[in-house]
Structure 1
């Protein structure tokens, strides 16, 4: 006997009456009290920053989960500002909601962006930013007690060494919703942890100027301070000697922290459920998946550079850097801007074998399970294109750090072009076989070169004479397809006569032909 349709699916009544769980990130969207909204997002402080900067046109950027309170916040903020200041709401972001959408803000000629909710804190290039995080409550005493007891760094555990590996410093990372109590957390941890161990924390500036000196209100330079101040934060090379305390729930920030600091011991505390745990194991598995993705990128010959941001400083120099190293490696590259990523969009580019995503650190590491082609970060691409890749598990996501390291390695890369010009086969760890890589462009990395391949586009002059042939993997892929689109019948079919179509809505068109047909029926 076959089971009925409800055996493998829920009934309609159950779906309608099923309670919906609200994510913790959207707790601020449930508030409707003006006084509570003022305190939760620090609206009076944001208004003071707007008036201090003399910004006349203000853009308010909200993520999707905070759109229900966008209009109440708009009205409250207007009461704290002078009447001559114009305020706009940016309801839809072009890319990730954690990044500042400078493109949408410039559509309304905004002088400043007030970013609400969670943020990745990546520096902007054109517009100043005022951050308005939600102030979520946290039990500091319980947080400090849970972390020190779990890690063995508390003063009561005198018989227990600070750490099995002898690491004697603590670095505190936290979700931005707990930034308002960061100094209290650091002071409480320093008081609970004995003397030889020092506690460092990264403070957040709520009013950040752009990196480039393009805005008249913010004449910043390349040495401008990023959103995270460096007065209490150790250098990146020294972070491996720290124990990391993370305050917050499951998020992309925590996942990236584990992957980018695999040598550190990470302990997390979630203020929502008041629980602390040791973050182990996940970083090793994630690094193994990233290493497999790097090997797939090493076998690719056609790359697509995905533009995942238009507001982060140094994203244009990074894209130029990616084009340069791909041309040096005799690879073909296409630059694509698709907005928010999904498998359906990238599936349209079947001829591309690997994608390189240029996005903020929180949106750079993409799970490749649902996508047809692998997606790597700029650092992983440089690792894949190196003649002898040696990866120790280090992963860099910061644009500025990648460019600075590339500038230091530039003298060594100038003599590496000969290694890509040989025709020796390379062994693939993914297929277990030797493969001959395709070569695109000339020895100097140019994309234009005379070639006789079948996948080249022919460029002709006005007289119809054969000129230069441009290498195109897309044209080569098109020629190999069984279906190449609709048949072109030039000068064979006469064009039809233009006539007025139907007008109105589908249930009742207003043209006479439709009315006469309905009358006959």
Structure 2
């Protein structure tokens, strides 16, 4: 019978306490480069034989018991992200790794999302940030008496779940409210991915918010995917205002049918939002270098007044004023009340919002562009200056600016050997 899986024991103590003689080490692809050194150190520390599972049969988040049995392993040390699904036979020790988490910044984000101190919130996290949840709880528990922090569970727990107890995805937490989990919001610490998607689809009665410790989307590209659907200009303006309120830079891009090669030209854009008809809004962006979302997903991320209801909207017209699903943006934060931070570009204090109310002293942007377009773009944002400095700018007619010249003979031959190129003799 398999022993309980573990997460808290160290690998040497896990091996020594069970008197293991043969252990399988399972690494995801991105950690295989360290497998040999880890195996050598483990053998030196424990005296047991180590076998590296170089290629897992299925997803790397799952423990590959079949491959471990092929070498006669008595246990598995699983490195990297894990789904924490229970195993059938072998004991398993999970070593998640510890990604850094700015607990102070995460705490401030939580306070902004939940200003009401009596809010009922369940905190979930990616396994690589589980090590920092204790410190985060120390920061938030005194202010939020109704907060719940989930704990990681490896393997099956004995006995049935208690009333109000959730045991899913290797997470365990107890909800004591009379209304159950539907009275709680969910706060996820980690990057967007399959784990967060699974949580949202399973606990779809609860509104979700997430905090990504790695990066935040500062530049958003609005992809114009239609010029014929009624209301597309209105939704473009709506998305620009939404992003401005959220403190994001937006760039409107007309690239025709999007593909990875086209969008890879815009490295300064962190995420794209596609404005298209309802049938073409859901784009498979798995091959893209940046995610491509729908206007509804952008609304969920940037409009604090919109909550997740379990319903998904693919028609952007449902988000416009007067539509059934329209949600008004909350009032803009006055400049005097904006929380300052330090710009990494200038080193000076700045407000967190990017949209100041227009004043009569500021000249229109077109005037600035006419005087010195390059300088005006640099004052708007560094990304705009980067775009201006590029040598390739797409198709530009430049009527009346290009001098007329006679047609000349071009190069002849095939790409690997034009007629005017010398051929090297072997």
- TM norm structure 1: 0.37
- TM norm structure 2: 0.45
- The answer to which structure has the higher helix fraction is 1
